[in-house]
Amino acid sequence: MIGIIFPYRNREVERVKRSLDSLSLQENHNFKVIFVDYGSDLASSSAIKELIFQYKFASYIYSFSEFQPWSRAKALNIGLKNTTADYVFTADVDMIFSPNFISKLYELRNPLKAYYFKVGFLSEKESKADKKFEDYSIDFNTGVGAQGLSLFYLKNVEEIGGYDEFLHFWGAEDIDIHERLIRTGTESIFYNEETLLLHQWHQSYRKSETAVLIEGLQLKGVVQLNHQHLKSNQKNKVTKVNNEKWGNLISEADFNELETADCQITLNNKLEVIDHFLFVELPQYKDKIVSVQFTKDDFQDSLKYKVKKLLGKTVPQYYSLKEINDRLLLHIISFYHTYPYSFKIDKNLKSIRFKIKK
């Protein structure tokens, strides 16, 4: 049996339907889809769950990660921990599969090899067309550097701890897992003899990043950070990553407990206040839920502050809320991402709310 793992959050239902419909047309039906919804909002999760239940070959898993950054690595690991298949293919909801794709996976499967596949990218107009696979017009094909869509022997992936869960937002998780498998003796092969996968067009996520605070979670420089982490794993010849909690999802009980927890602490944006919380206070909390609201110090907008600063007198040093956002998210990703937590930016962009169950 081959397991097809789809990581997902808040994407259009029609996009997913086109992908799953192409799996319905497979010559070989000996596969199971593990659809991992990594924290979609209520509307999206309800709609996508209803869709998934229409396909007998698919199962739906929901992780209550709505108020956490996206992590493809974590979503895929949840799928890895919830399949009984011997081989897994790490998929994407943007994919349209050729009718012989599953047959090709069975032909290629080998415990000593990991395959990743050439992908044909479609234009925006072509992506919305209803055609046979062979009739689509391809804009361009991916090369050897795109390793996200891969066939693995599950046991080999489990032995190296799955995908590296330090990696959040996007970037590097696919290259990293192939390189760690290579270090343990698995051959990594780019299959480009034919185009078996087509990519439905969407706007680039990286282009949507902003330099200012917005309600959606973002971390400045995260792509570069992820690639630096990849370089570190390369330099240190890392094979196994994560701790024993890898692949765990956030339960509904933990989510509800965080949601109902009252704010205990309000902190202003002074440098020393933020740094002391991150490096001294937060590590000391144990066996409780910590709930913190970060706000701008009223004094920062006062006439007295502005005059003193203009005259060169001593005034408090402040982080902007965007800087607090980035420092806090980086801290969570580095040290606390295995704990149940939530991270919210208020709609008025004047405060950040952080809760964690330690």
SS3 173: helix
Extents of the domains making up the chain: 2-235, 252-357
In sequence order, the 6+-apart residues with CB closer than 8 A to the CB of 276 are none
Q: Does the predicted model carry a pTM greater than 0.85? A: yes
pLDDT tens digits along 111-142: 999 999 999 999 999 998 889 999 999 998 88
**Which candidate, 335, 343, 346, 340, places its Cα nearest to that of 358?**
340
pLDDT tens digits along 168-186: 998 899 999 999 999 999 9
Cα separations in angstroms, 243 against 24, 29, 34, 247, 248: 37, 35, 23, 10, 11
CA 80 to chain centre: 15
pLDDT at 86 over 90: yes
What average pLDDT score do residues 205-213 get?
Answer: 75
Give pLDDT, residue 353.
Answer: 98
The fourth-level CATH superfamily of domain 2-235 is Spore Coat Polysaccharide Biosynthesis Protein SpsA; Chain A (3.90.550.10)
Give pLDDT, residue 205.
Answer: 66
What average pLDDT score do residues 225-238 get?
Answer: 98
In sequence order, the 6+-apart residues with CB closer than 8 A to the CB of 1 are 30, 31, 32, 84, 85, 86, 87
> Using CA atoms, how far apart are residues 13 and 8, in angstroms rounded to an integer?
11
> Using CA atoms, how far apart are residues 162 and 171, in angstroms rounded to an integer?
16
